[in-house]
Amino acid sequence: MIIRGKVATTIKVVLLALISAVLLTLTQSAFAKKEYVIAAFLAASIFALNFTYFSKRTVPLKFFLPGILLLAAFVITPILYTVVMSTYNYKTGNYIGKEEAVERIKALALEPDENNSAFDIVVGQFQESDALLVSDIVNDLYFISTPERRIELNKNQVELDENLVAQGVTGFMRADAGEISASKAATKRYFYNSEYFITVENLNVGAVFRQSLEYLPQQDIFRSLISDAIYRDNGNGNYVNPDDKSDFLEPGWRDPAWFTNYVRLVNDERVRDPLILVFIWTVVFATLTVLTQFAFGLLLALALNKPIRGRRIYRSILILPYAMPSVMSILIWGGMFNTEFGAVNEILGSNIAWFQDPTFARVAVILVNLWLGFPYFYLVSSGSLQAIPSELLEAAAIDGANPRQVFSKVTLPLLLQILSPLLIASFAFNFNNFNLIYLLTGGGPREQLDGEIAGSTDILISYTYQIAFGSNLQDLGLASAISVLIFFLVASISLYGVRKSKVLESFS
């Protein structure tokens, strides 16, 4: 059914109007929250959509604009953003923007008085201002404190409970929890004396503090009001005391660090040494995986290449591991390798702690991946075996080659040539086979007590994930730098593969 003419135009206009309206609302709220880049992207999308679908001259754009917008928003932008993040000091403790960090430092810079004074309080309203009714029982003093001033009370005026805590006084209106959270009364600072103020610790307790740091916006420094020490922006996302580098203010902010993260990959041995080990294992893992999967797949393809009885049944059973959702299979294998309750130990009659020992864990990873992948290579190898012209094999046999020679001199080289793009693609895929590692071993075993982040079965991508989201210290900047590195590695492998298949196409 093809819709034409006025109906089609109406549908188009209504649809575009709806989409534009939604995007416009989003643009406004993004703008209101100061997400200018996102707002600009959304505005540009609205413009592009309307221009494309109302103009008569943008035929190709009509076809690929939705795809391009999705790609731009959710693939290209994250890629670019990864590159940007890799040049930032972006980690736990340096997660927010600088303005926000300054506000937080100010709010956190509190110094208690010498007695660590704390009072029973009641939060409420006095003369249309948020106020605290404070009971200083130790000194037998009662007063009302507002953000601006302090009103002393006579003990006789005040309603006291059995613990001598003031519960009310004429003119003071107690507030309930809902009112307090609505008026943000609990976040305010209440007058105590010219230097100290009272903050609300909880709805019944207030504590006496003074400001310990002041921010001087002109010089962009923090000054300690107690020791007069100065804290300067160190250009790396923290205010640091120039006289004592270990004395810095929390929290920091994300700050351009240019190539610091990349330099750390090379120079910082705590980053570099695990990275090298992980890289070596990644290559070994991907290579062994491709080799074992291909070897077993090919063996099967050769075995079932003749019309033997039950070939179809073999085939349908052998394809099963490949048809199962891999997430489920990996989790199942994880259970089978369980030391006490797992089937693998039971069958071997052994008591191996598979995932606690680096070597066994690696063997398990390769074995599971063999199970997951050999049907793929069985399928493609048997397809390719049939594509080899039988004349070639016959000619070799006539020339006096025995079956083994025919295989090693004719069949295998031809197969390798046909399958090399697939072998390379599979290598590239396994190079980043995050699911397998994450779900089977979690990258472990790792000596967490020694502060190790890299585990014995971690491959680059799971190691990166670990750095970004895993440990207590989440270092998104460093993780992004490694991601960029991996991308170049994978891209060169894949481009090499594409070139191989191009070469093949020109042969055939």
Partner 1 sequence: MTKWLRETLWRHVTGWIMCAFAVFPLYLVFLSAFNESGSLQVTSFLPREISFANFDVLFNDERIPYLTWMKNSLMISGFVAIVSVVIGAASAFAFSRLRFKGKKFGIQLLLLIQMFPAILAISAVYVIMERVYKFAPSLGIGTQAGLILIYLGGAMGVNIWLLKGFVDSIPAELDEAAKIDGASAMQTYWQIFVPLAAPVLAVVSLLSFIGTFNEFILARLFLIEVESRTVAVGLQQFIGGQYSENWGPFAAGSIIASIPIVIIFLSLQKYIISGLTAGSVKG
Positions 409 through 448 that interact with partner 1 (CB under 8 A): 421-422, 425-426, 428-429, 432, 434-435, 438-439
CB nearer to partner 1: pick between 280 and 317: 317
Total residues contacting partner 1 by CB under 8 A comes to 101
Under the binding rule (CB under 8 A), the answer on residue 237 touching partner 1 is no
Neighbours of 231 (CB within 10 A): 20
Under the binding rule (CB under 8 A), the answer on residue 81 touching partner 1 is yes
Distance CA 20, CA 468 (A): 36
Half-sphere exposure of 262 (CA within 13 A, CB side): 12
Under the binding rule (CB under 8 A), the answer on residue 325 touching partner 1 is yes
| CB of 221 vs partner 1, minimal distance in Å | 29
| CB of 331 vs partner 1, minimal distance in Å | 6
Under the binding rule (CB under 8 A), the answer on residue 476 touching partner 1 is yes
Distance CA 274, CA 471 (A): 15
| CB of 210 vs partner 1, minimal distance in Å | 33
Residue-by-residue DSSP string for 65-90: HHHHHHHIIIIIHHHHHHHHHTTEE-
CB nearer to partner 1: pick between 421 and 445: 421
Under the binding rule (CB under 8 A), the answer on residue 7 touching partner 1 is no
Task: Give Cα separations from 479 to 87, 453, 464, 486 (angstroms).
Answer: 11, 12, 5, 11
Under the binding rule (CB under 8 A), the answer on residue 388 touching partner 1 is no
What is the largest distance, in Å, between two alpha-carbon atoms of the chain? 121
Taking CB under 8 A as the criterion, which residues in 334-363 touch partner 1? Answer: 334-336, 338, 341-343, 346-347
Distance CA 68, CA 70 (A): 5
CB nearer to partner 1: pick between 53 and 196: 53
Under the binding rule (CB under 8 A), the answer on residue 407 touching partner 1 is no
**Segment (H or E) for 320:** helix 320-323
Question: Which one of the spans 62-70, 152-160, 202-210, 220-228 is the region binding partner 1 (CB under 8 A)?
Answer: 62-70
Among 78, 235, 242, 413, binds partner 1 (CB under 8 A): 78
Cβ proximity of 49 and 20 under 8 Å: yes
Distance CA 486, CA 61 (A): 33
Among 332, 348, 412, 416, binds partner 1 (CB under 8 A): 332
CB nearer to partner 1: pick between 188 and 254: 254
CB nearer to partner 1: pick between 177 and 317: 317
Asked if the peptide bond before residue 217 counts as cis, ω within 30 degrees of 0, the response is no
| CB of 322 vs partner 1, minimal distance in Å | 7
- Residue among 489, 439, 482, 487 nearest 464 (CA): 482
Taking CB under 8 A as the criterion, which residues in 84-103 touch partner 1? Answer: 85
Question: Which one of the spans 111-119, 207-215, 263-271, 485-493 is the region binding partner 1 (CB under 8 A)?
Answer: 485-493
Cβ proximity of 231 and 239 under 8 Å: yes
CB nearer to partner 1: pick between 84 and 177: 84
Cβ proximity of 502 and 420 under 8 Å: no
CB nearer to partner 1: pick between 215 and 322: 322
CB nearer to partner 1: pick between 239 and 355: 355
Taking CB under 8 A as the criterion, which residues in 291-310 touch partner 1? Answer: 296, 299-300, 303-304, 306, 308, 310
| CB of 305 vs partner 1, minimal distance in Å | 8
Distance CA 181, CA 175 (A): 10
Distance CA 410, CA 388 (A): 9
Tokens of 262: 């990349």
Distance CA 197, CA 202 (A): 15
Amino acid present at 426: S
Question: Which one of the spans 27-35, 195-203, 265-273, 391-399 is the region binding partner 1 (CB under 8 A)?
Answer: 27-35
